[in-house]
Amino acid sequence: MNKEAISNRYLHFKESDFLTDSYFLEWVYRPSAELDAFWQQVINTVPQQKETIANARLYLENLSFVTHTPADEAITASWEKHLEQIQALPERKPAIRRILLRAAAVVAGAIVIGGTWFVLRSGNNSQLVARTGFGELKQVMLPDGSQVDLNANSKITYKDREVWLEGEALFNVKHINSKFLVHTKGLTVTVLGTVFDIRQRRSKTEIVLQSGKIRLSFANGREQDIIMKPGQIVSYNDKEEQSVTGNTSPEKFSAWKNQRLLLQDPKVSDILIYLEDNFGKKIIMEDPALNDRMVNGPILISSLDDALFVLSTVLNTEVIKRDSTTIVMRSRSEQ
Amino acid sequence: MDNPVFKHIMNGDIEAYSGLYKEYYKRFYNYGRKFTTNTYLIEDSIQEVFLDLWKRREKLSHVDSPNFYLYSSFRYVLIRKIRQHEKMVFNQSADEDYEFSGEHVIVNNDLSEELQIKLQKAIKTLTGRQLEAIFLMYYEDLSYKEVASILNISVKATYKIMARSLLALKEKFTIFFVLFFV
């Protein structure tokens, strides 16, 4: 640009005009020797604009924006999800698939052992979530072929042979040459091919092994790992951080699967806690003495009404629905 | 085709693609958060833009500026998703305009307190689009033309927006400039 052209263009520029000038913006934000030279020439040609140019610079230099930074885990998780999506797309060229496989091994390597990733992949999402409402049971077939019976008011999240459990579930784990892990509040079960039940309610987790072999590891780091044998029950209280090992009947423990409740030496209070956890109602026993009574034999738990009917018949109480969330059991009068 | 990474993607190179994805994830997250705090919508939009990019990777040779291509796709998808979401949750009309939020503008705190207050006030007079134009041009390596296209306005209008926004700033600052430069 010659002197005349510069003068014509910039002589009457205001600050705002400079700030809409791409040469000017580039000079401030992406400086280069060429831009320096050009703007020095402008200042020399129209010295009366020196101040306006300084002002415009100051505007730009003191304005910025908050930077929002995503968590690294969010970026990685998003990429992995995307990678699975593009891998689930119909193929076009075999060459691309080979590259995908190699890259997938790199990305998923931290979590997955060997090349099992593609075998396990079922849908578009690596993470599966299954949950049940109060009073609802569900059977879930996991992508690796393992089966899970989910008791009421429970949730599992599954990814690559790792399960996070809230509530209770009966696992029938497909035995393949890779570990299967179940995490609950306070402990992890490592499965070596097997059927077992985990009941994690309030501060207590109970594990009952039906068949096969599992190892329990505790999050607190103080308890030693326990290798369980079939028929054993381990009960862990994560408030007291203590585990107790005993024997039980796995079939009875998991009778909920067939909508029966069969607790070992069940006190009325234990049964009521179980019903509260699985049906989401508060149950109040008016006569506290009844709480310590034992009730043997299966209780039908296909619905809360059924269960309470059985209990109230045995205990000679009536069932009063106080409001939508609270049920009161009151002893019938003697006459 | 100015971006070598794009070339790799056209050839199906996952490693190059992973790098591109993660880089743009950060940038779109930052950009998207200026419109919404709902990070799920941002995540969904990024997924959609890149899924579409991948599906079309063999036809990308016509794309001159990958940066521009990605930004315009992302903005379009995100605004659509915000609209759908707001309509579903709050029953807002679909025509509502969802704008870049001015609350994320920072004034350099090396400036005197008096000056900072003046600059803050000036910023409040700018519209979302005016701020967004500045944001995209200054921070995201896009040209005037590209910004205009992303914001779906003519180049002329972009100049006007820039001019108007900076004029508004200038008026607020007149006193300051008198003090400072005279």
pLDDT tens, residue order, chain A (335 aa): 567 777 778 888 876 667 666 667 778 777 777 778 888 888 988 999 998 888 778 777 788 888 999 999 999 999 999 988 888 887 554 333 333 333 333 333 333 222 222 223 334 446 788 888 887 888 888 888 788 888 888 888 888 888 989 888 888 887 777 788 888 888 888 887 677 888 888 888 888 888 878 888 888 877 888 888 888 888 888 888 888 888 888 888 887 877 777 777 788 888 898 888 888 888 999 888 888 888 777 777 878 887 888 788 878 888 888 888 888 999 887 54
Could you tell me what percentage of chain B is helix, strand and coil, using 3-state DSSP and rounding each to the nearest 5?
75, 0, 25
Characterize the bridge pairing of strands A299-300 and A260-261: antiparallel
A window 73-112, beta carbon within 8 A of B? 74-75, 78-79, 81-83, 85-86, 89, 92-93, 95-96, 99-100, 102-104, 106-107
Structure tokens at B179: 């003090």
Do B170 and A16 lie within an 8 Å CB cutoff? yes
According to CATH, where is 3.55.50.30 located in chain A?
259-331
Map residue A328 onto helix, strand or coil. strand
Interatomic CA distance for residues A98 and A119, integer angstroms: 15
What's phi and psi for A64, nearest 5 deg? Answer: -150, -175
Specify whether the CB–CB gap between A189 and A216 falls below 8 A: yes
Interatomic CA distance for residues B156 and B149, integer angstroms: 11
- Please choose, from the candidates A182, A160, A186, A185, the residue with its C-alpha nearest in 3D space to the C-alpha of residue A170: A182
Asked if this assembly's ipTM is beyond 0.85, the reply is no
Specify whether the CB–CB gap between A159 and A127 falls below 8 A: yes
Q: A156: Cβ–Cβ under 8 A, 6 or more apart, which residues?
A: A129, A130, A131, A140, A148, A150, A163, A164, A165, A166, A169
DSSP symbols for B114-155: HHHHHHHHHHHTS-HHHHHHHHHHHHS---HHHHHHHTT--H
Give the CA distances from residue A209 to residues A85, A195, A230, in Å, rounded to whole numbers and listed in that order.
37, 6, 5
Establish, for the pair of chains A and B, how many residue pairs have beta carbons separated by less than 8 Å. 118
Interatomic CA distance for residues A255 and B56, integer angstroms: 53
Nearest CB among A14, A54, A60 relative to B170 is that of A14
Give the CA distances from residue B125 to residues A16, A17, A68, B167, B172, in Å, rounded to whole numbers and listed in that order.
15, 18, 23, 11, 10
What's phi and psi for B34, nearest 5 deg? Answer: -75, -15
Phi-psi region of A303 (alpha: psi -120 to 50; beta: other; left: phi over 0): beta
Helices and strands in chain B, H and E counts: 8, 1
Specify whether the CB–CB gap between A181 and A189 falls below 8 A: yes
Domain A133-253 carries which CATH code? 2.60.120.1440
Token pair 């006459």: residue: A335
Residues of B in contact with A126 (CB under 8 A): none
CATH topology (fold) of A259-331: Phage tail protein beta-alpha-beta fold (3.55.50)
Interatomic CA distance for residues B179 and B160, integer angstroms: 28
According to CATH, where is 2.60.120.1440 located in chain A?
133-253
B47: nearest CA partner in chain A: A82
Nearest CB among B12, B143, B159 relative to A99 is that of B12
Domains and CATH numbers, chain B: 4-90 (1.10.1740.10), 102-181 (1.10.10.10)
Distance from CA of residue B87 to its chain's centroid?
23
Give the single-character DSSP code of B169. Answer: H
Whether A31 has its CB under 8 Å from any CB of chain B: the answer is no
A89: nearest CA partner in chain B: B55
Whether A65 has its CB under 8 Å from any CB of chain B: the answer is yes
Listed in order, strand segments (DSSP E) in chain A are 63-65, 128-132, 138-141, 147-150, 154-159, 162-172, 180-184, 187-191, 195-201, 204-211, 214-218, 226-228, 232-237, 242-247, 260-261, 282-285, 299-300, 317-321, 326-331
B135: nearest CA partner in chain A: A65
Specify whether the CB–CB gap between A101 and A84 falls below 8 A: no
Residue type at A38?
Answer: F
Do A75 and B34 lie within an 8 Å CB cutoff? no
At B1-33, the pLDDT tens digits run 456 667 777 677 788 888 889 999 999 999 999
B107: part of which helix (H) or strand (E)? Answer: strand B105-107
Give the CA distances from residue A193 to residues A114, A117, A146, A188, A255, in Å, rounded to whole numbers and listed in that order.
18, 18, 10, 15, 21
Residues of A in contact with B164 (CB under 8 A): 16
At A19-77, the pLDDT tens digits run 666 667 778 777 777 778 888 888 988 999 998 888 778 777 788 888 999 999 999 99
Whether B153 has its CB under 8 Å from any CB of chain A: the answer is no
Whether B5 has its CB under 8 Å from any CB of chain A: the answer is no
Interatomic CA distance for residues A252 and A260, integer angstroms: 9
